[in-house]
Amino acid sequence: MIPVTKPFLPDRKKLDAYIDGIYEREWLTNNGPLAQELTRRLESYLGVENLLLVANGTLALQIAYRVLGLHETAAGEPAEAITTPFTFVATPSSLGWDGIQPVFADIDAQTWCLDPEAIAAKISPRTTGIVPVHVYGNACDVEAIDQIAEQHDLKVVYDAAHAFGVNYKGESLLKWGDAATLSFHATKVFHTIEGGAIIFKRKDDLEKAKALINFGITGPDSITALGINAKMNEFQAAMGLCVLDEMDTNLAQRGKVWQRYHEAFAGTATLQQRPPQLTNNFAYFPVVAEQLDDASQLFESLKAEGVMARRYFYPSLDGLEFLNNEASCFNAQKIARQVLCLPVYYSMSEADVEHVIAAFENGVKNARSA
């Protein structure tokens, strides 16, 4: 079976050397030297400032909401934040877990990111923020969203879990919004096994967040806020440092897979529309088979031929009852039914890539004739 992804495992000798240092220092967590080094190196690599490492990408979102005050309305009413239903469930569930009602707005039919006009239509007196997703590493319409947020005095937290290393108009995409969050889960392009990060626009917000991820503790005898434990440990940081050392090699190999798929499907299937000023981290290859209203049969056909694609992101989350949302987002529901993400990973062979392409083309033919 060809899986949809495999975690990138860096040079074992390098990792062992970092682990030897951890054993020598006996400093396992609480902003250890490897976490500090990874913070510095990631800021340099990504071209950002005010980066804070955390234990996972969901906590990154929740800390950002709390620091920016998305859970509070001026009138003391329950807060709402506008987000997309075409995403991993952690995006809206992290809002709901923090007492913020996710309000779904529809996506753009070409980019599959939040439609700014749909955002504007959902703003209410209870709206405190916007949580767009750079889905599959594609850039949201950041200029339009920034303008909407400024007009309505709203905070913007970008879920940038897919957008590690992506640049837009020559600068990091992570610089947009009041904060942008990253996931460093093992399945991501860059990972620390589990982990994540927040990039804040303002230094003051970074300092608040540093206290919140350590139980609100600001000194040996000082607790100044309601906090939580969201720190990254030294073993996670060690893995991150090793993976970062080999990012160029990793991305080059993933790029070859992505480009071959693009060559095969650009004229025969629907692909996500990406702005020309946007770089690509080759995190995902999403594809929609034209004339197929539902990808379920194609998914099963691929599976039968030894290809494990994924229906990222099905179902569209505006249909989940526990999120208490009455929205019906046509574009999101349509794309969620149709889209498949094909296997992309560092160690994927040329033969595997050609097998996936052939299996996809055969599956589409079979589905159309059924």
Q: Please report the pLDDT score of residue 74 as a whole number.
A: 79
The verdict on pTM exceeding 0.95 is: yes
Please calculate the CA angle 61-67-72 and round it to the nearest 5 degrees: 100
Q: Tell me the longest C-alpha to C-alpha distance in the chain.
A: 71
The answer to whether 282 and 261 are in contact (CB under 8 A) is no
Q: Which of 155, 169, 175, 188 is catalytic?
A: 188
12-245: which CATH topology?
Answer: Aspartate Aminotransferase; domain 2 (3.40.640)
Q: State whether residue 3 is helix, strand or coil.
A: coil
- Buried b / exposed e over 182-215, threshold 16 CB at 10 Å, is bbbbbebbbbbbbbbbbbbbeeebbebbbbbbbe
pLDDT at position 61 is 98
DSSP 180: E
Catalytic, 188? Answer yes
> How many residues can be counted in the chain?
370
pLDDT for position 247: 97
Nearest to 341 by CA among 283, 292, 293: 283
CATH of domain 247-369: 3.90.1150.10
Give the phi and the psi of residue 302 in degrees, each rounded to 5: -60, -45
d(C-alpha 299, C-alpha 325), whole Å:
28
**pLDDT tens for each residue of 326-338:** 768 999 999 999 9
State residue 368's pLDDT score.
80
| Whole-angstrom distance, CA of residue 101 vs CA of residue 355 | 44
Helix (H) or strand (E) holding 237: helix 234-245
Joined together, the tokens standing for residue 358 give 């052939």
Q: In Å, what is the CA distance from 278 to each residue of 14, 166, 261, 285, 323?
A: 32, 7, 19, 16, 33
Task: Count CB-CB contacts under 10 A for residue 254.
Answer: 23
Q: List the domain boundaries for the chain.
A: 12-245, 247-369
- Give me the tens of pLDDT residue by residue for the chain, a chain 370 residues long: 999 999 999 999 999 999 999 999 999 999 999 999 999 999 999 999 999 999 999 999 999 999 999 998 877 889 999 999 999 999 999 999 999 999 999 999 999 999 999 999 999 999 999 999 999 999 999 999 999 999 999 999 999 999 999 999 999 999 999 999 999 999 999 999 999 999 999 999 999 999 999 999 988 888 888 899 999 999 999 999 999 999 999 999 999 999 999 999 998 999 999 999 999 999 999 999 878 899 999 999 999 999 999 999 999 999 888 877 776 899 999 999 999 999 999 999 999 999 999 999 999 988 887 6
Q: Where are the beta strands (DSSP E) in the chain?
A: 51-54, 80-83, 101-104, 127-131, 155-159, 167-168, 171-172, 179-183, 196-200, 217-219, 222-223, 269-271, 286-289, 339-341
Q: Is the dihedral of CA 59, 61, 67, 70 positive or negative?
A: negative
Looking only at the bridges linking them, the beta strands covering 167-168 and 155-159 are unpaired
Contact 311, 4 (CB under 8 A): no
Q: What pLDDT is recorded for position 303? A: 97
